[in-house]
């Protein structure tokens, strides 16, 4: 078991960072509004998340390159520039949303306005990425995921109809799609998040580059055992992420019945999901979880922007490099964190911003998945490690579902306008 956990790396961090404040609030809102009948979403998205992230990880592992760099080298800049621009824009909004959530918690804890705390957090995260070893930072990030287990433990202090919960997990209820497509889009966007595509591809490539440098070889051959470890790592991360989402939804589904809440409007209401277990300490632990997951996710979000821009404009890149070796890369990270900071001065409600950022991901997901599938089936890039038939099936299924959700979302939006 110890050796198993030592093998875990980019895949686990990818999955854990998916449960950021935007994800937590989306899961809580889903559970409160839809109840247990929405539990199937957590199971339904697990294979979709796993296969698309496995593809991304394998692309980085086999090619030693990130997504943006591959798109630049093998496809038109007319494809690269829109993907880079929109991805950076949406990821930056997500950074702003996560900073807003953590800043609001600090405000609740201290009584000092969040606009004091948000710049401090931004500069701390920038300093951690620029001046300290990313490997050490990643080891700390793994421990921060423990805060999510309170959501798991709380469920066992509630009177749960476990048979009903299991039925709702394995038998989809499609009636919740009617009139609630925005929240469904947010759920899909926060689980199958485009920033994770860029992040895991680059992290696998960077991890491989480090191994090659340590072993003193120009290129390490890709073996079946290494690809097996990559798959295990990726599945572990995705399973962890979706298991936590399942328990959060289940716990939140009881909040409406216990406290008469039909929709989460503030963090105090969101924290009620932990009250059966933690009592008066519920908000404190909820707040620590929001802060911890924000500090886990924001470096991943900012790092993804760094990779996208560095590869688009041919800058040196990599969290394994020092600032003077990859100035453009680190400046992009700093700029993303600072712009995310400025978003908070627009006065947008943190909860609305969190769920809005999740929904935006759903909109940009389909075109990204389509280009990822083209790359993963290109033998010039992947050699013999192109997608298998089963992976192609699930990959294109993710594309079809994500595209369908976006189409229904816009049709629903047009209906409201009329």
Instruction: Place 5 in a pLDDT band, splitting at 50, 70 and 90.
Output: very low
pLDDT of residue 217: 58
pLDDT digits (tens, 9 = 90+) for 89-128: 999 998 999 999 999 999 999 999 998 999 999 998 888 8
Average pLDDT, the chain: 84
The maximal CA–CA distance of the chain, rounded, in angstroms, is 65
For residue 215, pLDDT over 60 is answered with: no
Mapping DSSP to helix (H, G, I), strand (E, B) and coil, where does residue 156 land?
coil
pLDDT digits (tens, 9 = 90+) for 128-169: 888 876 667 666 766 766 778 888 999 998 888 999 999 999
Q: Provide the percentage of residues in the chain whose pLDDT is more than 70.
A: 86
Instruction: Give the Cβ contact number of residue 373 at 10 Å.
Output: 19
pLDDT of residue 211: 65
pLDDT digits (tens, 9 = 90+) for 237-258: 888 889 999 999 999 998 877 8
**Residue of higher predicted confidence among 186 and 7:** 186
pLDDT of residue 176: 62
- 36 membership: H or E segment, kind and range: none
Q: DSSP letter string over 169-184?
A: HHS--GGGGTT-HHHH
pLDDT digits (tens, 9 = 90+) for 179-203: 577 788 888 888 888 888 888 888 8
d(Cα 279, Cα 340) in Å, to the nearest integer? 34
Structural domains in the chain, sorted by start = 2-417 (1.20.1740)
Instruction: Give the Cβ contact number of residue 138 at 10 Å.
Output: 18
d(Cα 89, Cα 85) in Å, to the nearest integer? 6
Task: Please list, residue by residue across 86-124, b when 16 or more beta carbons sit within 10 angstroms of its beta carbon and e when fewer do.
Answer: bbbebbbbbbbbbbbbbbbbbbbeeeeebeebbbebbee
- 9 membership: H or E segment, kind and range: none
């Amino acid at each position: 078991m110890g050796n198993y956990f030592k093998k875990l790396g980019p895949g686990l961090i990818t999955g854990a960072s998916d449960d950021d404040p935007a994800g937590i609030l989306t899961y809580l809102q889903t559970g409160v509004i839809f109840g247990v009948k929405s539990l199937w979403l957590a199971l339904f998205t697990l294979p979709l998340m796993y296969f698309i992230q496995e593809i991304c990880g394998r692309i980085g592992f086999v090619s030693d390159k990130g997504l943006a760099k591959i798109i630049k080298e093998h496809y038109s800049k007319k494809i690269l520039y829109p993907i880079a621009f929109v991805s950076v824009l949406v990821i930056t909004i997500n950074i702003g949303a996560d900073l807003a959530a953590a800043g609001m918690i600090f405000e609740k804890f201290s009584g000092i306005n969040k606009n004091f705390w948000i710049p401090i957090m931004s500069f701390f995260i920038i300093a951690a990425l620029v001046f300290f070893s990313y490997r050490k930072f990643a080891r700390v990030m793994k421990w921060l995921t423990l805060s999510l287990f309170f959501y798991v433990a709380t469920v066992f202090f509630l009177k749960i109809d476990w048979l009903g919960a299991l039925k709702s997990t394995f038998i989809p209820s499609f009636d919740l799609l009617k009139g609630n497509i925005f929240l469904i889009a947010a759920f899909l966007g926060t689980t199958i998040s485009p920033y994770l595509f860029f992040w895991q591809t680059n992290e696998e490539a960077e991890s491989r580059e480090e191994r090659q440098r340590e072993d003193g070889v120009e290129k390490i051959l890709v073996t079946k055992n290494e690809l097996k470890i990559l798959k295990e790592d990726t599945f572990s991360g995705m399973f962890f992420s979706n298991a936590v989402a399942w328990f959060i939804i289940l716990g939140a589904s009881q909040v409406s019945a216990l406290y008469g809440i039909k929709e989460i409007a503030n963090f105090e209401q969101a924290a009620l999901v932990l009250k059966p277990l933690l009592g008066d300490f519920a908000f404190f632990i909820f707040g620590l979880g929001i802060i911890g997951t924000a500090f886990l996710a924001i470096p991943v979000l900012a790092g993804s922007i760094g990779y996208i821009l560095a590869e688009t404009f041919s800058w040196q890149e990599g969290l394994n490099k020092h600032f003077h070796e990859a100035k453009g890369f680190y400046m992009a990270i700093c700029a993303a964190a600072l712009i995310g900071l400025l978003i908070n001065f627009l006065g947008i409600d943190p909860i609305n911003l969190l769920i809005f950022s999740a929904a935006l991901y759903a909109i940009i997901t389909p075109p990204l998945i389509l280009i990822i599938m083209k790359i993963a089936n290109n033998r010039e890039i992947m050699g013999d490690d192109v997608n298998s038939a089963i992976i192609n099936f699930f990959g294109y299924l993710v594309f079809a579902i994500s595209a369908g959700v976006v189409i229904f979302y816009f049709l629903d939006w047009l209906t409201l306008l009329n």
